[in-house]
Amino acid sequence: MIERLLEVARRRADGGADALWRRVERTSVAFEWGRLKAAGVAEEAGANLRVRHRGRVGIAGTTADVAPDELVSRALASAALGEEIELAFPARGPLAKIATFFDRAADARLDDLIAMGRSLLGRLEREGCQVNVSIERESADVRVANTAGAAGDYRSTGVAVSADVWRIAGDDVLAVGDAAEGADLPGDEVLARLAATINTRLDHALRIVGPPDGALPVVFTPAGLSPLMLPVTQALSGKAVLQGISPLGAKVGEQVFDARFSLTDDPLRAGRPSSRPIDDECVASRLTPLVEHGVVRRFIYDLETAARAKTQSTGHGERGIFGKPVPGYTNIVVGDAGDVGAKHPLPPPLGGGLLAAITDGLLVDELIGVGQGNVIGGAFSHPVALAYRIERGEITGRVKDAAVAGNAYELWKRVGGFGNDARWAGSRWAPSVLLEGVSVARR
C-alpha cells in the first residue's frame, strides 16, 4: 500500500513524503485470583503518511481501506495548516540484520498461552494469597519507505508475561509482582526465574519492621530504578532540549554524573521486542551512547527534532498509525552494553550483592506515584510501595509508612556501587544500584 501512497505523494507534494504500514496481531490471556478470566485475539493494521508541501509538513493516518489519493489529500490538507520546517527525507542505506522474529512466538496458540499461565500459577500458589497472571503475545509486520528511495521492512514478535501475588492480613495489603518480556516464547527457565524472583521478595516482605530515617544508603533494584531513570531519559531527548526544559541541554562533553554511570540505547539487541533494523522514518538503527562514564555525549533525535536542532537523526523516530513521529527509545542499557545478557543465580539475590556493607539503609523495589509531576526536573518524593530495611548487611523485613526523596541528577553523582543482578525490566537493562545520601523519612 505505501508504494502506491508514495507514488501519488511524489506527484502531488513538492517536498516529498514518507509512509509507514504496520499490522499487529495480539493474543492475550488473563488469570485473576487464580482463575482464567479473559482470553482473546485482536488484529489491527494501518498506514501513516507524512508529506512536505510548500515548506510545511502534514500527517494523515488510516486503519481503513482508503484510496491513496484520498489519504494524500488528507495529508496535504494537514500540511496547509502545518508548521514550516526544512525536513529532508533520508536516502537508502545498509540495514543491520538482527533477530526480531521467532517462529515459536508467532505460532503460539491461545491454548499454549493458557497452559503457560497455569504453569506459572502453580509456581506461585501459597496459602492465604491471591495470584494474578497475564500473558500477551504480539506479532507484527512493518514496512517504511520514502520518496527519496529509502525503504525497509521487518517482522517482529514479542511476549510479555506478568504476575502478582496479593496477601491481605487485616489492614496490611501486600502486593508483589514482576514481569518477563522477550521476542521469543519464554521457556521453563524464564518462568522459573520469574516465579523465584516473586517468591523471594514475598518471603522477605512477610515480616514488617520500622523504617529507618535520615540521609541513608539506599539500594534501588532494577525494577525500582524508574524515579532515577525517567528524569535522565527525558532530559536526553532532543525534543526536551529544543523546548529548553532539559537540565542536560548545554552539558554535552561535560562530566555530569559519577564516572561509573553509562547509558546507551541499543535498537540492535537480538531477541528484544523493541529492537528493529530501521526506525519509523527510514533511518537505519544503530547503537547510540548517551552517557559514557558520567560524560553526556548526545541526545536522541527523530527527523523533525534533528532538523530543528540542525543535526542528524539518531534513528529514534517512532510513530503510530495516527499522529506525527516523535523521538522514542528502544532498549536502554545502564552500564556496559557488552554485559547485556549475562546469567545470574536462581533465585536472583535481592540487591545484587550490595547489601553487605550497609549498616542501616533501605532496599527499594517499588515507589508510589513515579512519573507524576515535573519529572524532568529530577526531584522526587514518593511513598514506598515495596521496600525493605537493611541492617548490618541483611534484609530484616518490609517497611511501611515511609517515603524516599532526592534529586536524580544529584544522586547519580553519588553511586556507591552496581550489583551483580542486571536484568531486563521492560525495555531497560540495569543492575541494582547503591546510591549514597538518599533521604528516607517516616510517615
Residue 344 has pLDDT above 70, yes or no: no
CATH superfamily for 2-205 is PmbA/TldD superfamily (3.30.2290.10)
- At residue 346, the pLDDT reads 59
Q: Which residue has the cell 502453580?
A: 122
Lowest mean pLDDT among 33-47, 254-268, 324-338: 324-338
Give 90-142 pLDDT, tens digit per residue. 999 999 999 999 999 999 999 999 999 999 999 999 999 999 999 999 999 99
Q: What is the pTM of this model?
A: 0.93
> Can you give the residue ranges of every domain in the chain?
2-205, 208-442
> 10 Å Cβ neighbour count for 107?
12
Instruction: Indicate left, alpha or beta for 441 from its phi (over 0: left) and psi (-120 to 50: alpha).
Output: beta
- Which one has a higher pLDDT value, 337 or 427? 427
β-strand partners of 136: 28, 160
- At residue 347, the pLDDT reads 60
DSSP string, 14-66: TT-EEEEEEEEEEEEEEEETTEEEEEEEEEEEEEEEEEEETTEEEEEEESS--
pLDDT, average across residues 240-252: 97
**What does each C-alpha distance from 353 to 221, 262, 271, 367 come to in angstroms?**
11, 20, 27, 21
